[in-house]
């Protein structure tokens, strides 16, 4: 059996192009499995996985839970709200107590960038980063790539625009790493206050005109304005952001080409996307969610095989 080069999934930055190909191929097999009448396989029957979420989540959490069930793993769920974290217990003590219950793998979302990397230096269980602050969200980028490949085939030479709040987005950084490793061209688009300085050092283009970005790309991956992470004002008002960077169906229909519209969710309808765009034939937003289960099954299966 082919193996990953790593025993944790901390970020896309650490993956080789061969790792990404292996995850894509394995996810393709699991997508076939979850479309059968009997959607379950016994692959992780002897594995126990804890989903440890210190931040809110709908898609990622449910998708991991379902992926684990489809693989026949035993699972337990932890939310910081209502836990002994509120009494001052540390991250490492919390995780070590979970591991004492004979848990093999930790899927963790945390508000602090680097939290899963820190854990990986102190515990022996496999760790999957389910989003660490503004840093990385590797499984989102993998499911985004999988969804793009379903529509476009090989991503080498394909043009992907990532539009929105790049500065606060872990999805943007993981997508940049994933897309560059697959040979795609990447353009970032948004107000200059929401584009990190020196980001072009990662080999991406920057554009501040959303119409030009849409005219350039094969795929527009639109990101949410993350007001909860913004301590200062980066633009005058949401109304003005929407006026200059919001995307509606008419803008997509008027392009003289096919375009694929993506969004990792949750969508701020009427801010970065109008409902008529989000729900249009250009959109593969719900395909992304569907593919998340198969991609996470692949990641969990391949990491468990490392032990």
Does position 77 bind ligand CP by CB under 6 A? no
Q: Which of residues 139-198 bind ligand CP (CB under 6 A)?
A: 140
Nearest-approach distance from CB 69 to ligand CP, in angstroms: 17
SS3 270: coil
CA neighbor of 256 nearest in space, from 221, 215, 209, 211: 215
Closest to ligand CP by CB, 138 or 246: 138
CB 214 within 8 A of CB 255: yes
Q: Please check if 170 is assigned to a binding site.
A: yes
CA distance 164 to 162: 7
The annotation status of 266 as a binding-site residue, yes or no, is yes
Contact 275, 269 (CB under 8 A): yes
On whether 211 is known to bind a ligand per the annotation, the reply is no
Among 60, 147, 169, 242, binds ligand CP (CB under 6 A): 60
Minimum CB distance to ligand CP, residue 174 (Å): 11
Binding of ligand CP at residue 133 (CB under 6 A)?
no
Q: Does 57 bind ligand CP (CB under 6 A)?
A: yes
Using the rule CB under 6 A, which residue among 133, 191, 265, 270 binds ligand CP? 265
- Helix axes of 59-70 and 138-152: crossing angle, nearest 10 degrees: 80
Q: Based on CB atoms, which residue is closest to ligand CP, 43 or 263? A: 263
Euclidean distance between the first and final Cα of the chain, in Å? 13
> What secondary structure letter does DSSP report for 283?
B
Check binding of 264 to ligand CP (CB under 6 A). Answer: yes
* Residue 59 in marked binding region: yes
φ and ψ at 195, to 5 degrees? -115, 120
Q: Which stretch binds ligand CP (CB under 6 A): 37-45, 149-157, 159-167, 264-272?
A: 264-272
How far apart are CB 250 and ligand CP at their closest, in Å?
A: 26
If you search the block for the tokens 């985004």, which residue do you land on? Answer: 144
Q: Is the dihedral of CA 236, 211, 175, 40 positive or negative?
A: positive
Give the three-state DSSP class for 224: coil
CB of 230 to ligand CP, least distance (A): 17
Q: Measured between alpha carbons, how far is 106 from 208 in angstroms, rounded to an integer?
A: 39
Nearest residue to the partner ligand CP, using Cβ: 60
Binding site for ligand CP (CB under 6 A): 57-60, 131, 137, 140, 264-266
Q: Which residues are annotated as a binding site for carbamoyl phosphate?
A: 59-60, 109, 137, 140, 265-266
């Amino acid at each position: 059996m082919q193996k990953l080069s790593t025993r944790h999934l901390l970020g896309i930055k650490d993956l080789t192009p061969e790792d990404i190909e292996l995850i894509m191929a394995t996810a393709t097999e699991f997508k076939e499995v979850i479309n059968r009448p009997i959607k379950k396989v016994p692959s992780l029957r002897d594995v126990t996985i804890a989903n440890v979420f210190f931040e809110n989540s709908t898609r990622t959490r449910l998708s991991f839970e379902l992926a684990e069930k489809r693989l026949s793993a035993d699972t337990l769920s932890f939310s910081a709200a209502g836990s002994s974290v509120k009494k001052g217990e540390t991250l490492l003590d919390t995780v070590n107590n979970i591991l004492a219950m004979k848990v093999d793998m930790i899927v963790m979302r945390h508000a602090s960038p680097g939290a899963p990397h820190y854990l990986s230096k102190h515990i022996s269980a496999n760790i999957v980063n389910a989003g660490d602050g503004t840093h990385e969200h590797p499984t989102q980028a993998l499911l985004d790539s999988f969804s793009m490949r379903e529509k476009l085939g090989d991503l080498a030479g394909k043009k992907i625009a990532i539009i929105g709040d790049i500065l606060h987005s872990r999805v943007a950084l993981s997508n940049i790493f994933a897309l560059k490793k697959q040979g795609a061209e990447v353009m970032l688009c948004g107000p200059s206050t929401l584009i990190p300085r020196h980001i072009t050092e990662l080999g991406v283009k920057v554009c501040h005109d959303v119409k030009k970005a849409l005219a350039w790309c094969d795929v527009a991956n639109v990101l949410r304005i993350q007001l909860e992470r913004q301590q200062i004002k980066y633009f005058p008002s949401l109304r003005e952001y929407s006026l200059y960077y919001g995307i509606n169906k008419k803008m997509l229909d008027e392009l003289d080409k096919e375009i694929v519209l993506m969004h990792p969710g949750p969508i701020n309808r009427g801010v970065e996307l109008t409902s008529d765009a989000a729900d249009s034939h250009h959109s593969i937003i719900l395909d992304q969610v569907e593919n998340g289960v198969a991609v996470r099954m692949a990641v969990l299966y391949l990491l468990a095989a490392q032990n």
